Amino acid sequence: MNKPLKAAMVLSTALTIALTGCGGSGGETKNGDQVTLQMVESLTNPDRTQLIKGLIADFEKENSNIKVKLVSPPTDQADQKIQQMLQAGSGVDVLEVRDLTVGPFSKNGWIYDMGAETKDWSGLSSLTEQAKKVALNDEGKSYFLPYGFYGLS
């Protein structure tokens, strides 16, 4: 697995989100080259965004050659904005998907089947059986890792 993809996988499992199939900074890099990943969250609010920024900062400390640019569209416009970004191939590397969007996004080939990478992931054992079940679609592919339930307030 190339370094940007592996880095995105680590970040995605830490934040339990999806990888996109049309990322903008993908490709092979030389050891030590700076990599910038663009991540888009779909359920934004100031407190939650700050939490994600903190997780990103921790990730960047552990991976000094990787920077993560967080895009936080307003929640009420997020699905439409994300779909436009994915359709345009505009550099989305890591994406937070919702139960309503994972199906269409995967059918359109916009998000990556993480099944091979998550199969031996050490964090898999920390997921509940229900979370593991929900993470697989009818074809046995894993396009996301659920991390809980989030209600709009």
CA dist 9 and 4 (Å) reads 8
Instruction: Give CATH superfamily name and number for 3-25+33-134.
Output: Periplasmic binding protein-like II (3.40.190.10)
Residue 33 tokens read as: 């080259």
> What is residue 41's predicted lDDT score, i.e. its pLDDT?
92
CA dist 93 and 39 (Å) reads 6
What pTM was computed for the model? 0.72
Domain ranges (residues) in the chain: 3-25+33-134
Positions of the chain with pLDDT under 50? 7, 9-16, 22-28, 150-153
Angle, helices 3-15/46-62, rounded to nearest 10 degrees: 140
> What is residue 148's predicted lDDT score, i.e. its pLDDT?
60
> What is residue 146's predicted lDDT score, i.e. its pLDDT?
80
> Which amino acid is located at 99 in the chain?
D
> What is residue 68's predicted lDDT score, i.e. its pLDDT?
96
> What is residue 67's predicted lDDT score, i.e. its pLDDT?
96
